Amino acid sequence: MRKICLLGASGSIGTQTLDVMRKNPTDFTLVAFSVGSKTRKIAHIINMYPDVKAICIKDKNKVNYYQSKYPNISVYSGDEGLLKLIDTDADMVVNALVGFVGLKPTLYALEKDKIVCLANKEALVVGGELVNDLLKKGHGKLYPIDSEHSAIKKCLMVDDHNISKIMLTASGGAFRKLNRDQLKDVKAEDALKHPTWKMGNKITIDCATMINKAFEVIEAHYLFGCPYSQIGIKLHDESMIHSYIVYKDGSMRLDISKPDMRNPIKLALYEFVTDFKTVKANSLEQFKDLHFHDFDSKRYPIVKLAKYVIEDKGTYGAVFNASNEVAVNAFLKDQIPFLAIEDIVNKLMKEHENIIHPTYEQIAEIDAKTRQNANELVKKWRKK
Ligand SMILES: NC(=O)c1ccc[n+]([C@@H]2O[C@H](COP(=O)([O-])OP(=O)(O)OC[C@H]3O[C@@H](n4cnc5c(N)ncnc54)[C@H](OP(=O)(O)O)[C@@H]3O)[C@@H](O)[C@H]2O)c1
């Protein structure tokens, strides 16, 4: 029986993780979880999992209320509270947090030799080097939840020799049928209509800008150790092929199934111990009614930033992520236009003086400074 600590239990991945656990009650139990502001979800989760010993909420002003409501459970708050949850007897930490807040708990869980199932891709974008340093030193284990990386890991487990390219598939997001001119006036409510997945707001906007794919290229680099030149992107309308590998002899290995995040979540929770069935096919066209398009870097120029983060490393990932988090938030509040997200990110990446081999503290400092600068740029946009 695995004892799980679930960070971000109230979100899209968190809720689906609870669903997978509920369907496999003899294999998993919940001992700790966090929610952000959706505290109304706490009672239901505690009712489902009587083994819960500790919870964390975002707002410290609500701690006393929940502590008196649940006297047998330790109630924590804020970023430090997330670490307290990891200090319980949980042996597996599912990180379903969104954004920079997910980095510290990932590092902390690995330091404590826990198994981390990682949905929070921002942790690798910002702190991939720190994460890999801990893994290399033998601390903890890390399994990806992102569907593309789960698919690639599955394929690599069958054959990781003579690889020519790792290909990440991309649906193209809500605006895939629009050209850049048509992006000028799009609104958040349109951007939130993802064609194939139902996800949290931030990642849905990241899909519309394609910054999500840039993040996934960086994520693939840190997870699989491949250079930028070996990672490609293929647009695929239906999100049925979750990603694929092209081998040097031209053959391909791919992972195909209906889009459902509970599949990669389940795989990570079971540490990728599963039976893989291989079906032989000679070309992607053999799969009827699936559509593929070449990735157009002129349509999605922002994806190129992944190259700098991968090749120059340092604090570029922190700037990319923090500027994007602020800009996406402002776009969701209708404070800036859609294309201003790219503008803000590009400007701050261009101005940044990289710090190589940063510590967590240096990364946190750059994160805070970038947020300040990005907020200034948001203010300028609001005056336009
Ligand atoms: N959703 C998907 O299908 C999917 C697929 C692949 C990868 N991912 C990745 O998985 C991660 C989670 O995505 P999601 O779609 O599940 O996001 P989401 O629905 O927005 O959920 C995010 C979770 O993090 C919590 N949270 C946010 N800010 C916090 C803070 N400052 N302190 C503490 N908790 C905080 C939220 O709490 P409240 O909601 O209670 O405020 C919620 O529980 C992201 O990194 C995303 O890129 C998601």
Digit-coded pLDDT (tens) for 246-273: 999 999 999 998 889 999 999 999 999 9
- Please name each of the domains of the chain with its CATH number: 2-144 (3.40.50.720), 147-183+201-303 (no CATH), 314-384 (1.10.1740.10)
Q: Please determine, for residue 19, whether its predicted confidence score (pLDDT) is greater than 80.
A: yes
Mutate to test the pocket of ligand 1, among 5, 6, 13 (most ligand atoms within 8 A of CB): 13
Mean pLDDT of 114-118: 98
Q: Whose CA is nearest to atom 36 of ligand 1?
A: 36
Say if residues 20 and 117 touch (Cβ distance below 8 Å). no
Ligand 1 atom closest to Cα of residue 102: 45
Position 194 scores a pLDDT of 78
Radius of gyration of the chain (CA): 20
**What is the distance in A from the centroid of ligand 1 to the CA of 95?**
9
**What is the distance in A from the centroid of ligand 1 to the CA of 122?**
11
- pTM across the whole model: 0.96
**What is the distance in A from the centroid of ligand 1 to the CA of 248?**
37
**Helix ranges restricted to H, the chain:** 12-23, 42-48, 63-69, 78-86, 103-111, 122-136, 147-158, 188-191, 201-209, 211-224, 262-269, 305-312, 316-332, 338-351, 360-383
Distance in angstroms (rounded) separating the CA atoms of residues 269 and 266: 5
Q: Please determine, for residue 282, whether its predicted confidence score (pLDDT) is greater than 80.
A: no
Neighbour-count burial of 296, counting CB atoms closer than 10 A to its CB (0-12 exposed, 13-18 middle, 19+ buried): exposed
Candidates 76, 137, 148; CA nearest to 105 is 76
Give the C-alpha distances (Å, rounded to integers) separating 180 from 177, 297, 298, 315. Answer: 10, 12, 9, 29
Residues with CB under 6 A from ligand 1: 8, 10-14, 34-38, 58, 96-99, 101, 119-122, 146, 197, 199-200, 202-203, 261
Q: Please determine, for residue 29, whether its predicted confidence score (pLDDT) is greater than 80.
A: yes
